[in-house]
Structures are given as structure tokens and as C-alpha cells.
Amino acid sequence: MSVDHRPDDYDFPVTSGPPALAPMRAWLRERLVDVPAETVADAELLATELVTNAYRHADGVLAFRMWLPDGRSVVRLEIDDGRPQLLPEVREERPRPEPGGRGLLLVKALSSAWGVRHSATRKTTWAELSFAPAPR
């Protein structure tokens, strides 16, 4: 694989508005060249959802990490924010006229596992995407 088996960090530019998601997705694609295209697309989508949630609900992203854990065919994404008391809530799927509110349903549906770790000062929301390794 072309990705180190330790986390790669993406540094978000500090902005007063919405996050710059296109450069983040390009950064992911550059690092996941040996991962199936469908998994890369899902990683882009999950990263976008998790980062958007951090900006919308938790005052922004403190850190974003991605890596391929040793010995597993998994892409792991982690997003840190500064609102540890605000835990993600998966809302029931229901028809809604307004957009939004279904991002964690998407995370739950696409990821092989996801969850949250928190401390007194930060929260990490993580998701993993399993993929079939390329034949050798």
C-alpha cells in the first residue's frame, strides 16, 4: 500500500465559513491509490459527513486523521472536535421536507464500524471502511 500504516493528518485551513471539503477529498484520493475506487468514494463521502457534522454541531475540526491499520483491509477515518459533551445522535430515518439530519444514518450504513471516544477536552468520531484486498 502507498499509505503508511500510521495516521496521516490533514490540516484544515482556518476559515470563518464552511470547511474546504474539495481539497480534503483530493488529499484522501492521493493517499488511497491502492484501495478499490468504491472504497475511496465511500471514504470521501464519510469524511465529508463527519467533517461537516463537526463544523455544524461542534465548532469545527481540531484534527482529521486517516490510515490503513496494519494487518486489516480497512480505511480508518478520525475527526476530532472540541465539544466532548455533545455526542453524535443517529436519528430515525423518516421522510423530511428539509435537508440534513441524516448524516449519521449514512455513516452507519456505509461503514463497517463507527463510534466515538471522548475526553474532558475533545471528542473523536471515527469510522472504518472494510475492503477486499487486491489479488496478488
d(CA 95, CA 118): 32
Q: What is the mean pLDDT of residues 121-130?
A: 95
Q: Report strand pairing: 74-81 vs 8-10.
A: unpaired
pTM greater than 0.85 (yes/no)? no
Determine phi and psi for 46, rounding to 5 degrees: -65, -45
Residue 96 has pLDDT above 70, yes or no: no
Output 74 or 133, whichever has higher pLDDT: 74
pLDDT at 97: 56
User: What pLDDT does 4 receive?
Assistant: 42
Q: Identify which of 86, 123, 85, 91 has the alpha carbon closest to the alpha carbon of residue 104.
A: 91
Q: How much of the chain, in percent, has pLDDT values that exceed 70?
A: 79
Which residue is associated with the grid cell 459533551?
85
**CA distances in angstroms from 21 to 18, 47, 86, 114, 132, listed in the order given:** 9, 9, 23, 21, 27
pLDDT for position 2:
39
Cite the beta strand spans of the chain per DSSP E. Answer: 8-10, 63-67, 74-81, 113-118, 123-130
What is the spatial distance between Cα 50 and Cα 53, in angstroms, rounded to a whole number?
A: 5
Task: Name the residue with higher pLDDT: 3 or 50.
Answer: 50
To the nearest whole number, what is the mean pLDDT of the chain?
83
- At 10, the pLDDT band (50, 70, 90 cuts) reads confident
pLDDT of residue 133: 80
**pLDDT tens sequence across 31-55:** 999 899 999 999 999 999 999 988 8
Task: Report the alpha-carbon distance of residue 6 to residue 82 in Å, rounded.
Answer: 23
What whole-number distance in Å separates Cα of residue 39 and Cα of residue 129? Answer: 7
